Homo-oligomer: A and B are copies of this chain.
Amino acid sequence: MHNITMLGSGLVGMFYTKTLHGLRSRDRVSVVYSRTEERVRQFARDWDIPHWTTDMEEAITHPDTDVVVIGLPNHLHEPAVHAAVRAGKAVFCTKPLGRHADEAKRMLDAVEEAGVFAGYLEDLVYTPKTLKAIASTRDGALGRVLWARSRETHPGPHSDWFWDKEKSGGGAIVDLGCHCIEISRNFIGKDVRPLEVMCWADTQVHPIEAEDSAVGLVRYASGAIGQFEVSWTFRGGMDLRDEVSGTEGTIWLNHWLRTGSEMFTAAGEKGYVSEKAESERGWLFPVGDEAGALGYVEMFTDMLDSLDNGRSPRETFYDGYVVNAIMDAAYRSAESKRWEPVTLEDWRGSESLDAAAQMTEYDADHFLIKEEKMPDGTTKLILKQKSTGAIVQKAL
């Protein structure tokens, strides 16, 4: 059982607390911190938390807790991590780890040097369907992974600081792209080095400085492409979908709008439909277990079980650092309009991977390119002659 200090009382703090207190949990949030006294008192009352404070240091060093969860605006992650390290407590930090790779690297170094347990709260990697899909991919159901698209778009975030580039470090890329990039890494393989990034970013709709839309391609050493699509301009709710292609298979995951729950109402849904829903009448697509669908439940289970068992969690500060480095390259590419290398001074994965397309032997003289069943019932083969390289077809 753990007693937890929760830093932050916004939407993410609320979701985290709800999850930590949820179901038949043996863990509790015992201290909560927020800058504003009125908010933090209310939060402590709503979630039955014994201690509250507007002093972050006090919250972190409070003798009743052994874990610090950071659910603060991005520019406060680094000071909070350092304070937790000084207090010698386990620290879990919300996504993105830093506003850029330098900040993330300092946090990584701090926890590693001090030897405190640290977890990166990348929740979307932990949705049950994602975990199962990653396991199937690892077991070879897709063959060699070629491409992973992760899309997260909605009409924009709910707190002011997200929209302020200085505090957040950027727009939709920093807010949402961090999820997409890490999802792709999990499918492509964390051991595979991200080499370079091409990214388009624009402020298409909102009167802000940061980008509200972006599409990026991350090229990995295996030849695989991780594609991220993020936007604060999407209409219709929240769109969370992943698609993975491999030489032997395909995975499509839908996390939000089309997950088997559909409602038409002329009367109107009086309650809350789901996060970022845009209508209360007509066809609605509620999500049953939002915390589960977003991965919060499995994420905290992994973090706390790992802490108990002295093992590394699935998502570490090192992963957060890699994601930040990829996002940095994305921002550079959006400026330079060309592919930009991913700078990783500290790379811990494999150095070389063979990405060569493998030839499938058809017979002594030919490679098989493909076969297809035709409308007339015949099967057609496309072959490549080994000696000449000529391409020929053959009907069976």
Contacts and interface: CB of A to CB of B under 8 A. Distances in A.
Interface of A: 1, 11, 14, 23-27, 127-133, 135-136, 139-143, 146-147, 149, 153, 155-160, 163-164, 198, 200, 202-208, 213, 215, 217, 219, 223, 225, 227, 229, 231-237, 239, 245-255, 258-273, 275-289, 292, 297-298, 300-301, 304-305, 337-339, 357, 359, 367, 369-370, 372-377, 380, 382, 384, 391-393
Contacts of A276: 372
A289 B292 contact: yes
Given A23-B23, A261-B132, A139 B269 contact: yes
B213 A147 contact: yes
Given A136-B271, A147-B213, 14 more contacts: A11-B374, A24-B24, A129-B287, A136-B269, A141-B263, A146-B204, A155-B372, A156-B382, A198-B337, A205-B247, A206-B357, A215-B217, A276-B372, A282-B282
A270 B127 contact: no
A373 B277 contact: yes
Contact of A132 (B163, B215, B286): B286
A234 B143 CA distance: 12
A358 to B, nearest CB: 8
A135 B271 contact: yes
B382 A163 contact: yes
A236 to B, nearest CB: 3
Nearest to A139: B270
A251 to B, nearest CB: 5
So how many copies of this chain end up in the complex?
4
Contact of A297 (B23, B235, B245, B337): B23
B23 A163 contact: no
Contacts of A287: 129, 132
Contacts of A380: 158
A208 B263 CA distance: 27
Contacts of A149: 229
26 contacts: A23-B298, A24-B24, A24-B305, A25-B25, A26-B26, A129-B289, A133-B263, A136-B265, A136-B271, A141-B269, A158-B374, A158-B382, A160-B391, A198-B198, A198-B337, A202-B225, A205-B247, A208-B369, A232-B370, A235-B264, A236-B250, A251-B263, A260-B260, A276-B372, A281-B282, A338-B338
A334 to B, nearest CB: 11
A136 B263 contact: yes
Given A26-B26, A268-B141, A275-B375, A236 B249 contact: yes
Contacts of A376: 272
Contacts of A288: 127-132
A1 B259 CA distance: 34
A283 B282 contact: yes
A291 to B, nearest CB: 9
Given A202-B223, A391-B163, A245 B265 contact: no
A231 B370 CA distance: 13
Contacts of A136: 263, 265, 269, 271, 286
5 closest pairs, A vs B, by CB? A128-B288, A129-B288, A236-B264, A128-B289, A254-B260
Nearest to A219: B200
Contacts of A23: 23-25, 297-298, 301
